Amino acid sequence: MEGSETSMARTPNGTRDGPQSRRTPQNPPREPPHYSSGRQVPHGIEQRAALRRRRKRRRAILFYIAMFLFVVVAAVTLSLTVLFKIDTIQVTGSSRYPAQQIVSISGIVQGENLFLAKTKEARTAIESQLPYIKAATVSRQLPATIVIHVEDDTAKGAIAYEGQYALIGSGDKVLEFVDTLPQGVTLVKGLDLAKAEVGQPIVYTDDVELSSSPADDASEADGSSAEASGSSPSESTLAGGEDSSHKSKEIFQELWTAIEESGLDKITEIDLSDRYNLVILYDNRITMELGLPTDLEYKLHYAKGILDAGGIKDTEKGTLKLSDAMDNRVPFEPDYSNSSAAAPG
């Protein structure tokens, strides 16, 4: 019907396909609504949300830090109280002292915590209270072992002191006092000791004088002694410009080092009484005059070369003058008198 608002839509083949709304220009089709991907929120709400996120993140960080510290404290507490208790103390190395004595002197005991053991104090106690121990090391081995390694010392010389002999080891440490000079130990003359105590390095008189006397007093004393002896100041000093009266310790140490380097092993006596002519007695029969304390290692190597080459017979006695060894002038003067180590004064 013409007045009808609806009509049947026709299909392409001419058939009707149901009612169809009649559209007029005044009633256009509505488009579907469009939605944005996000909604705008007030600025204050966004700030509060960001603040809450930051606070939550900080709380999480603090929580993990607290947990980490708790674990660390718990581990340390267990390590120092329950775990790592010492159950074995081993003593290694060669020593004249029994292992039990070394352990007792160290102060370390079984059942003590491994990490609380005072290893440095133990080493110091062992080296000072057991003088024939040259060096000691105290180390930890997990899970529960302390290892004490010791190295024995030997007497390198004997020095007369207060009616006895002070046996000196490495580092000038006093090993013990004896009444009779042991066989094979070198007697050292010409050294004045201010103090000697078992387990401690010897104190030279020269060291005490140097520490108590100002430098200008020493210079005046040097000048007056040079005038009294009729020699010039240059003649009263040794090579290198150092005062001979203040070099006994250095001379002894340098001479002993030269002896060890040369390989001479039958030194009966060392005499430092005359700083301008050091003397050593080899095998109780050959007196070696070294002259000034310079080029000592060369002089002693020279002497050893003569002995090794048979330049001096094994039964021969005499004096070998090495002061001019640098110029290849080393005369030997036979001397058949007996030489022996003197008793301490």
DSSP 172-203: GBEEEEESSPPTTPPEEES--EEE--BTSB-E
Residue 177 near residue 164, CB atoms below 8 Å: yes
Say how far apart CA 19 and CA 68 lie, in whole Å: 77
Going by pLDDT thresholds of 50, 70 and 90, the confidence category of residue 11 is: low
Q: Which two tokens stand for residue 169?
A: 């080891």
Strand partners, 90: 147
CATH topology of domain 88-152: Ubiquitin-like (UB roll) (3.10.20)
Residue-wise pLDDT tens digits, 236-262: 444 444 444 447 888 999 999 999 999
Is 154-212+247-345 in the same CATH topology as 88-152? no
Tell me: pLDDT of 161 over 80. Answer: yes
51's enclosing H/E stretch is helix 43-81
Domain regions of the chain by residue span: 88-152, 154-212+247-345, 213-244
**CB count, 10 Å around CB of 168?**
27
- Phi, psi angles (nearest 5°) of residue 250: -65, -40
Per-residue pLDDT tens for 192-248? Answer: 889 999 999 999 887 766 565 554 454 454 544 444 444 444 344 444 444 444 478
Q: How far apart are CA 44 and CA 59, in angstroms?
A: 23
Class of domain 154-212+247-345: alpha beta
How far is Cα 271 from Cα 255, in angstroms, rounded to an integer?
Answer: 11
d(CA 345, CA 340): 15
Compute the mean pLDDT over every residue in the chain, rounded to the nearest whole number: 80
What integer is the mean pLDDT of 281-286? Answer: 95
- On whether the pTM is more than 0.75, the answer is no
Residue 116 sits at φ, ψ, to 5 deg, of: -95, -5
Is residue 146 within 8 Å of 117, Cβ to Cβ? yes
DSSP 8-state assignment for residue 235: G
